[in-house]
A and B are shown apart, each in its own frame.
Chain A
Amino acid sequence: MLGIVGTIPSEEFPLVSGHITLSGDCILIAGHEIPVNRGTAALMAAAVATSEALGVAPPCGYLAGDIGRGKGSRMLYKCLTEELPGSHLQTLTFHYLQPIVHWHNRLQAALTALPVRPYLIADAGYMYVAKMSGKASLYDLFTPDVGELAFLADEEAPHPFYTRGFILHDEVSTPELIARAYRHGNAARNLIVKGNQDYLADRSGILETVDSPVEEALEAMGGTGDTLTGIVSALIDAGMNIRSAAPIAMKANRYAGHLTRPTPATQVMEIIHHIPAALADIMHKERTRTSGM
């Protein structure tokens, strides 16, 4: 089963866990209805849409309210540290959490103690803390955008806010940044780099590049990176390996975006509604391509 951990922007929202379902423009979890606009709710909605399209069980969510003070994140860190030993998660995706190194390390210790360690995916704040802690290589997949990749590549920066200019500069190519991130031990086993071109990479370099369809407006939209992480998480949990799952996720996310005919003002739920159709199309093409080989 896929577990997704993150926060939503409310101080009052309690710590909850449970299966996630979609209802219109909201996700439902533990009796709570949460509008999907960006962030972890968007990642969860995309993962549910993908799971439904694949005909597999819905993901399980761990959510708490947090507006940046870290209270909800601390509750999540504590809850997971206590509950992980009794869980049976095959894949675990961490998302918007306050980067707190000592809690990250406690959680990592709990994960390491499991008889079978889940496939570990980190994005957003949890990816930051994974790098800060110096334990990035314990993760299976990071999903940075280009700005976050520069942060991973900067061995000095404790947060993207401090990424040094010579690394952040446009003239530094993505392959250089990827190589630098691995050289300093600040990357997971695999990277999906989200941007005008999407890349799958590992220590050896770029493995796959997806650059179409092109919808420039998607860069400005909040949540399009979250949906990609949600799709790939669900595909991996359904049994695909990263080499198969990543290109499908990158293509499907782009195609779903394309189907919305987006402007920079488009909201992410419009894309999520198109994920099942986009996935069906991309997977059909993949099957056709591989059967014809």
Chain B
Amino acid sequence: MSLFGFLKKKIGQQPKKGGASARSDRGILVFENTSEVIHAERILKRESTHIRVMGPPAEIRRGCDLVIEFPLIEKLTILRTLKEASLTPLETVPISSPLLTPVDLFHIKDFGRHLMVRAANMKLTVDKDTGYIVNVSGGGCPDVPYLAQKMVGCTIDDAPSPNEIGHTLCGYALQLAYEEVKRRCSE
């Protein structure tokens, strides 16, 4: 039986839960690797498609994997948009099992002159007076040192965003911290 055949069987066996029915109009795009997901998300958001990146169902979990949730009704448009960008999902499946969502809990630490924001395992620290990024820490995927190299020493406005130059889930977590820092610095 194929992987997705197995999935369908599991899906069919699962009783409907309250949360699941409310999201039954949503689908999941499954991709080969995280770089493709990040690329696809960038393209789809540029088209103002209502999507979000999520953790894959446990049944199709792989190392550093992500899936994209999208309005199932827009499947054709979305696939065409992706194809124009030479992106082809491995599979497109409806949501019918619980999904993990990206972390949305921020930990904030104010050192006085410096502000640190942690999202999941990634921490970004800025100088509140100058806006310079003074440190990037945490994380375990290999783009973390790369992102730190590119971002530390830049102002939060001039630094490349992790979304643009990162590749992994750690990069994605740093993006969340980066957005939260920007939001707080602009208040």
Contacts and interface: CB of A to CB of B under 8 A. Distances in A.
A153 to B, nearest CB: 13
Given A99-B141, A158-B100, A264-B125, 12 more contacts: A40-B145, A66-B143, A70-B142, A98-B141, A99-B64, A148-B121, A157-B100, A161-B170, A162-B100, A163-B120, A169-B105, A216-B109
A162 B102 contact: yes
Q: How extensive is the interface on chain B, given as a class?
A: 35 or more
A265 interface: yes
A96 interface: yes
B35 A129 contact: no
Most buried by B among A123, A165, A169, A264: A264
B119 to A, nearest CB: 8
Interface of A: 7-10, 37-41, 66-70, 72-73, 96-101, 104, 123-129, 132, 145, 147-148, 151, 156-165, 168-170, 216-217, 219-225, 263-265
Contacts of A37: 145, 148-149
21 contacts: A37-B149, A38-B148, A98-B168, A104-B63, A126-B140, A148-B121, A158-B100, A160-B121, A160-B169, A161-B55, A161-B103, A161-B172, A162-B100, A163-B103, A165-B105, A169-B105, A219-B137, A220-B116, A222-B136, A222-B137, A265-B114
B142 A159 contact: no
A66 B123 CA distance: 21
Given A66-B142, A265-B127, A221 B137 contact: yes
Given A123-B140, A220-B137, A222-B136, A264 B111 contact: yes
Interface string B134-154: 111111111111101100100
Nearest to B133: A265
Given A160-B173, A161-B102, A145 B138 contact: yes
B141 A165 contact: no
A3 B142 CA distance: 19
Contacts of A156: 58, 100
Nearest to B55: A162
B142 A67 contact: yes
Contacts of B172: 161
Nearest to A66: B142
Given A159-B64, A159-B169, A220-B125, A72 B109 contact: no
